[in-house]
Amino acid sequence: MSTSSTSLQHAQALDEADTLAGKRDDFLLPPDTIYLNGNSLGPLTRRAQQRTLEVVESQWGEDLIASWNRHDWIDLPFTAAEKIAPLIGAAPNQVVCCDSVSINLLKLLACCLRMQSPRTRVLTQTDNFPTDLYVAQGLESLLGPARCELLAVAPDALPEALSEEVAVLLLTEINFRSAARFDMEELTALAHAQGVLVLWDLSHSAGVMPLEVDAWGIDFAVGCGYKYLNGGPGAPAFIYANCRHHGTMNSPVQGWMGHRDPFEFDTAYEKGAGMAQFLVGTPPILSLSALDAALDSFADVAVSDLHAKTMALGQLFAALMSQDEELSEFTLESNADAMLRGAHLAYSHPEAYSICRALNDAGIVVDFRSPNIVRFGFSPLYLRHVDVWRAIQSLRHLMREKTYLEDEFTRRLRVT
């Protein structure tokens, strides 16, 4: 029996030693599926399923509008947020769940520009997630160059581009394509030295990367509810605002739910205290309930353990890929050092799209990112080392048989 680091036995031994192994039981994973796509859409937890049924049938179905008070629907944006706070290193009362990451970016960018007047520059990375760039471009065209000027530079040019003209530095910790990781603490300190506010997008970080937003002095952050946090498709996103800014920040999207007292129905807007001002309209209770329930899977785990496991899974995958002659056509586009990347691995291949479709067909769920990347995500709560080992076997088989060349796999679907 082989006991080398590429054997099934080795993967099984790693699973036996895995302190997070029991967490897999929290999830309802389809049979014969290895889900390496938790970085795009986290899977369904038993708790979220149960809670959704209860909210629909009993709370909405029977208690109707009384549920806003009886089942504390009105507090849900904060209840869920307080479960996210420890995952990002935030003390209480600095996080709220609402809207999408895109909308929250708009609120916070406008907020930062107002706080930093007369500074007008928004500095970001050219390879940022498109929505981050689009929102900043939209704000620039709305406000005009005299009040908002977007400057996007390559990641390694960022330190040099920081100056006293920059109002806000907008960055994403983990690159959605390559998984490249920024040193958040270092860049935040560099920005602060120039009086620049920092706004971090933690969409590919929350629930898997070790974050210390308070200790690092982060000003603002946003993050995604439906990726590693498993909140469900289109789950509300979150906003973090450091409490030192609560007195001076002003969201530009003034809705009644962000009012100091929505049920006074005042005609004049007065912002709510703390994080409340970031609420806009009525919270989506079905989605928020699913997110709130899913977050309970994190209640008793240390983020450092999640990060250690995702690194171990990724390292095993990378080792198996690199040692296999049949997989030599794939090029690793992520940093080879697990500390310098997020929780997925990006490999390029000229036939990436068809390979991705054929893998999905074989029950190995991964995704494709244009133009030639296959992403393999290693969400630590439910994946086993043997899943990684099996995924590699499927990939080898597919490459050997060239099944990915079949017509049905080359046709582009609308969502990749």
Ligand X SMILES: *Cc1c(COP(=O)(O)O)cnc(C)c1O
The answer to whether residue 45 forms part of the interface with ligand X (CB under 6 A) is: no
| Dist CA 118 CA 132 (whole Å) | 23
200 is an interface residue for ligand X by CB under 6 A: no
Q: Residue 318: helix, strand or coil by DSSP? A: helix
- The CA distance from 348 to 146, in Å, is 41
Active site residue 226: yes
Q: Which one is catalytic: 51, 83, 181, 227? A: 227
How far apart CA 34 and CA 24 sit, in angstroms, is 12
The interface region with ligand X, picked from 89-97, 127-135, 210-218, 274-282 by CB under 6 A, is 127-135
| CA 389 to chain CA centroid, nearest Å | 25
Closest CA to 292 of 128, 131, 95: 95
Binding to ligand X (CB under 6 A) within 279-338 occurs at none
Active site residue 407: no
Least Cβ distance, residue 200 to ligand X (angstroms): 10
Establish if 203 lies at the interface with ligand X (CB under 6 A): yes
Closer residue to ligand X, CB minimum distance, 71 or 204: 204
Helix count and strand count (H, E) for the chain? 13, 13
Dig out the tokens for 89 from the structure.
Answer: 């290193």
Of 223, 128, 240, the closest CA to residue 176 belongs to 128
**Residue 140 φ then ψ, to 5°:** -60, -40
Range in contact with ligand X (rule: CB under 6 A) among 2-10, 126-134, 254-262, 356-364 = 126-134
Closest CA to 135 of 114, 107, 116: 107
Confirm whether 129 is a catalytic residue. yes
Q: Decide if 265 is catalytic.
A: no
> Whose Cβ is closer to ligand X: residue 14's or residue 237's?
237
Q: Single out the catalytic residue among 35, 375, 404, 409.
A: 375
Write each residue from 75 to 114 as x if it is in contact with ligand X (CB under 6 A), else as -, in one continuous string: -------------------------xxx------------
Residue 59 per-residue DSSP state:
I
Per the annotation, the verdict on 227 as an active-site residue is yes
User: With respect to ligand X, which residue has the nearer C-beta, 237 or 249?
Assistant: 237
Q: How far is the CB of 100 from ligand X (least distance, A)?
A: 3
Asked whether position 409 contacts ligand X by CB under 6 A, the answer is: no
Beta bridge partners of 241: 220
**Residues forming the active site:** 129, 201, 226-227, 375
- Interface residue list for ligand X (CB under 6 A): 100-102, 129, 131-132, 172, 176, 201, 203-204, 224, 237
